[in-house]
Amino acid sequence: MSNCVFITGANGMLGASVTREALAQGYRVKAQILPGTSTKVLDGLDIEIREGNILDLAFLEQEMANCQYVINIAALTTIWPRRLPIINDVNFQGVKNIAALAQQFNYHRMVQIGTANSFNHGSKEAPGDENQPYTADQFKMDYMDSKYKAQCHLLALHHSNSFPVVILNPTFMIGPFDSGPTSGRMLLELYKNTLPGYAGGGKNFVYSKDVAVATVNALKMGRTGQCYIVGNENLYFGEMFKKAAFVFQQPFRIKQIPGMAINLVGAINSTMSRLTGKPPQLSYSMAKMASVKQFYSPTKAQKELNLPNTPIEEAILDCISWYKENGYLPK
């Protein structure tokens, strides 16, 4: 199968957009999804869907045999509990499996989706970039640690064996196909006037469709053995929610909550979750992160991967429109 790309995690938020972008750029797509998961976000697309697990080497060997490219998006993004062996299994061992087979089958290129948290953040005036060290181990989360470990493994393969890998490190994505919901949950709560307030921190926000464009571009563009922070606008949470309220045509009523209060709520929630076994809406680690200003520069990806910089208002509108079309909100 010529010009074939094997896309893992194809029915996730980013995977659904990457699959569409790969088709738009003329690739044949073989899409991996976990057995028993919904294919609704892939309905109507001219692709081959394969059910299987990236921890299953026999499955991967069979399905990767006739492709030339792989985009690995599949990951466990769980941040509660903070430590869980399966997170490391999927995010590290799964990546090792895919890379080993990509080498065996002489793939033209592997594109790995990492996280911007693999680099230290900065301020708006001096945002973090790909030269910064890893400091997110302070949060003691297997998700971040495993993604960084996988990144180090792939870069080592490149340096030792010239393995053709490019790593994309997205910031906080907003867009459609967020079935979870995951990143769009805070927008849903703001829209429904159930968001109690916001923290004093901030993030770099990016349209998931822009990330998809850069991801597929990276199959042919960019330099192997390199990482690319894929982001757009550095915004404090207050700035982000004001933009969202404007898009929703709603008054902006919510207020900033002091960091100490957020940390206290997070600590109580974490304690209760350990007693009940139910995941918290806001854990102590999440509360600590909410006060951090996680600002990054996407300049390298914009120059080398033709990363678009769609205004975040468009991403918000696309996200909330998708929720309305799919029954999460009334139309």
| pLDDT digits 0-9 by tens, 185-204 | 999 999 999 998 999 999 99
Q: How far apart are CA 112 and CA 286, in angstroms?
A: 25
Secondary structure letter of residue 235 according to DSSP: E
85 cis-preceded (ω within 30 degrees of 0) = no
What is residue 279's predicted lDDT score, i.e. its pLDDT? 79
| Sheet with 69-72: strands ordered across | 48-51, 28-33, 4-8, 69-72, 109-113, 165-170, 226-230
Is residue 18's pLDDT more than 80? Answer: yes
Query: What is the per-residue pLDDT across 198-252, written as a single tens digit (0 to 9) for each?
Result: 999 999 999 999 999 999 999 999 999 999 999 999 999 999 999 999 999 999 9
CA dihedral of residues 163, 127, 309, 3 (deg, nearest 10): 0
State how beta strands 172-174 and 109-113 pair: unpaired
70 and 90 Cβ atoms separated by less than 8 Å: no
Domains with residue ranges and CATH for the chain: 4-177+205-234+295-310 (3.40.50.720)
The pLDDT assigned to 33 comes to: 98
How far apart (Å, rounded) are the C-alpha atoms in residues 301 and 168? 9
CA torsion through residues 320, 255, 280, 77, sign? positive
Beta pairing, strands 202-207 & 293-294? parallel
Q: Judge whether 145 and 203 are in contact, CB under 8 Å.
A: no
- Residue 205 has which token pair? 């926000």
As a whole number of angstroms, the distance between CA 119 and CA 261 comes to 28
N-to-C CA span, the chain: 42
- Identify the pLDDT of residue 83: 81
Class of residue 222 by CB neighbours under 10 A (exposed 0-12, middle 13-18, buried 19+): buried
HEC secondary structure over 211-231: HHHHHHHCCCCCCCCEEEEEC
Both structure tokens of 218: 């990276």
- pLDDT of amino acid 1: 66
Q: What local confidence, expressed as pLDDT, does residue 80 receive? A: 58
